[in-house]
Structure 1
Amino acid sequence: MELDHIIKQSLLNLEKSFDALDNALMKQANGAAASTGMAEELNMLIEDRSQLAAQLDDAKAKIESLESVNQEIETRVDVAMQQLALLLNEDGDV
């Protein structure tokens, strides 16, 4: 009877060990899958960052172009106003 009890207890311990091993393997597999998912997400974030950086560079170039055009228009308006002021002064002198 004692041998029967020892064998049953050993089988229970062996089953518990297999369950623990199975759980450990599942955790490891889940960790590897999560790591792969995180790597893919990181790659997507890096790609998004690159696209946003390119869009920002394009926007900065457009802003510089618009500032240049704005400065040119401002200069032309100033010249036109000065010419009008001269014409008005000439008409007043006559």
Structure 2
Amino acid sequence: MQARGELKSFCDQHELPYTSIVGLKNNSLKREEPRLLQRLLRSLAVATELIRIPPTSVTPRFLFPNLEALTTFKAQLKCFDSGTPTLPDSEPDASESPAP
């Protein structure tokens, strides 16, 4: 997860357009940007395929390679929404914590 104020450096590092990413984040883009969203997901190591169902549809959908990838992505979104810095399963083991 990016700390506050680090979005600009993240965009620079991954060669993403900062203004468009902020617009995507704030839901203020004037049109849908599925390719931008897919680039952003790829930068976050989330593999997806952009598809249209039915093929004549103007609304794109994202296909995850498997259920595990989708479940992980949903857990990441939940962490971002709650402000939790790490995923629950990435917290240190109790055995690794120093004794009180």
TM-score, normalising length: structure 2: 0.21
Answer 1 or 2: which has greater strand percent: 2
Greater fraction helix: 1
**Larger RCO (CA within 8 A; separation ≥ 6):** 2
The alignment's TM-score, normalised by the length of structure 1, stands at 0.22
Higher alpha-carbon Rg: 1
